Structure 1
């Protein structure tokens, strides 16, 4: 199974992972054979990349949490945000009325439900002995905010577990991740969804989502204090160049430092109205390059050891021009897997296994989405 842009997929490829619409309903079932009509349906739903099985890769990549748990969390988060936006308008000007008390009770019920689901995710991830992140979550533009927040929670728990946080810290981390962007509900949609670069004035307004989210959450006693701080500080950078406070080093919450990394990784690997997603390895390289400046050095180093940008079965292009299929992922060295390289001469084609930990003069230049040379295709199909 490999992640492919929809516009690079050939008819006849098989969908390797079920797709869901913005309401959590099945859009396409796993195993369906893809044709132009179905691919158009996928694109129309705002999805630009999907997992397929084809002649190059038929391996399975398991999600970190059960799909039904992920969908339930996305739906709960959507209901929480939607209720918040609706009730916030209705509460304006109302003081101590029956209607106000009903709306506040409804709000608290939504947050209670979200808290319960979040604890289930914490228990599921923290009980696993070892978790590697091999799967990029498929997001729809229409559902991006909620899918992104759930994915940031999952990624943060993987990192938090590796950093040996306590169970209570993991609970705070997860609910803070779920709600880290709630302040965007206060930001005009025409700014959040703008396709062109923001003006300086618009960017200043967009940055207010941190302080506005914190101001809202600090009035909710059901949300723990450390989780509220995440909403405020998740755009701070350890060198002091972040916002809103320009905080440095240990002045930034430990949990917010984790979210800063996972929020960046998931945002970079997701399509947004104003920017296309980058490949996982590019996001990893950015985080590695920003360790010690934007991100806590130790946390960033730990995170990149847990992410697998080239899962087994990925078709890759090497720096010497060879194509290869990832055969084995090496723990702690995600950018240096073992690759079966396709070597072609005038009279033969053969597979040669290369350990990139030993072949230090070679690097993976990128994932190969388009089909390679026809003779290479034919050879791989036989394998």
Structure 2
């Protein structure tokens, strides 16, 4: 099974992961053979990539959380974010508004339980999202990534609770930013950038005196765009003035954002995102936390077709902990025909690197 951009999906391709509509209904079940009409319909709902099963990659990629739980979490976040900016000031302090956050809290607990009972703590991007659902699925992804990172950092359970809840609501301030700014396919104007950069403050102000949430969770809404070098926003905090929860969510937020395609911008390869994080460690992101993150993320899932620096085409077979950019690969195509079918451990073959992911042979 491998993830490919929608423009590379051809008729008669087998769908590898079930596709859902924006409201959580099943649109196309995994295992279905995609027709030209079905592919066109999927494009209409702004899905930019799909998992497929083909002759090169038939192994299943298992999500770190149950697919039905992921969909439930997305709908819970959507329900809260969609309704929050409709709540009047009078309602803000009433039980009417509390229900949304109680639902998110319950969902946070379910996500935690599901992840903590999962023996596999390596992170691989497995969700298929629609751009129409982007903000909500992004919040869930950031929570999952943050939890995996928090576990790797050996945070105690109580702090993991603060982290998960904070990650789920980190973008709540975007409920108060005009939708045209959030969903534009054009470059933002300076004025629109100012509006967008207000979302951490807007979110924190909304949460600060209204809901029975931990101050640790609320701080994530305010600080997730702060940077160790002090060049972040909204307050230009640096170093230890930024909470560890916010530092973790900042990395998870960047990884998921850059790994996800947008209508006007193709997703970066996860390996390139990882290199971006490493190159900005100590400046944009906490150095030690980035180092830990690099040990638990899997940028090349099993079954990914890749180009190698020696000109060969290979398929990823296994990624070993602590070496995310140097998996074990099997040669599928080479000028040296005697090497086809051979497995190479890139940890040992230092002269060979993966140059990029490929979607067709």
After TM superposition, the score normalised by the length of structure 2 is 0.96
Segment drifting more, 189-198 vs 250-259: 189-198
2:304 aligned residue (297, 304, 314): 314
- What SS does the aligned partner of 2:155 have? coil
Partner of 2:122: 132
Q: 1:361 to 1:166 in 2, by over 3 A?
A: same
Partner of 1:288: 278
Partner of 1:202: 192
Structure-2 separation of matches of 1:356 and 1:141: 35
Partner of 2:39: 39
Segment drifting more, 260-269 vs 114-123: 114-123
Partner of 1:168: 158
Q: Does 1:148 align with 2:138?
A: yes
Structure-1 separation of matches of 2:86 and 2:23: 18
Q: Does 1:8 align with 2:5?
A: no
Q: Does 1:231 align with 2:221?
A: yes
Structure-1 separation of matches of 2:235 and 2:334: 57
Structure-2 separation of matches of 1:317 and 1:172: 41
- What SS does the aligned partner of 1:351 have? coil
How far apart are residue 309 of structure 1 and its match?
1.1
Spell out, residue by residue over 1:139-169, the C-alpha distance to the aligned partner (whole angstroms, 9 max, x if none).
Answer: 1111111000011000100000110111111
Q: Say whether the 8 Å CA contact 1:65–1:124 is kept in structure 2.
A: yes
Q: What does 1:1-383 align with in structure 2 at a 5 Å threshold?
A: 1-87=1-87, 91=88, 100=91, 104-345=94-335, 350-370=340-360, 372=361
- In structure 2, stretches of 5+ residues that fail to align are none
Q: 1:216 to 1:320 in 2, by over 3 A?
A: same
Q: Say whether the 8 Å CA contact 1:271–1:277 is kept in structure 2.
A: yes
Structure-2 separation of matches of 1:194 and 1:333: 37
- What SS does the aligned partner of 2:325 have? coil
Structure-2 separation of matches of 1:226 and 1:137: 28
After TM superposition, the score normalised by the length of structure 1 is 0.91
How far apart are residue 274 of structure 1 and its match?
4.4
How far apart are residue 271 of structure 1 and its match?
2.3
Q: 1:252 to 1:348 in 2, by over 3 A?
A: closer
Structure-2 separation of matches of 1:131 and 1:303: 11
Question: Which structure has the larger Rg?
Answer: 1
How far apart are residue 343 of structure 1 and its match?
4.9
Partner of 1:379: none
How far apart are residue 130 of structure 1 and its match?
3.8
Spell out, residue by residue over 1:98-139, the C-alpha distance to the aligned partner (whole angstroms, 9 max, x if none).
Answer: xx48x8312111211110111111122123344111234211
Q: 1:346 to 1:151 in 2, by over 3 A?
A: closer
Segment drifting more, 315-324 vs 195-204: 195-204
- What SS does the aligned partner of 2:236 have? coil
Figure out how many residues of one structure are paired with residues of the other and give that number: 361
Segment drifting more, 268-277 vs 41-50: 268-277
Structure-2 separation of matches of 1:273 and 1:49: 11
- What SS does the aligned partner of 1:180 have? coil
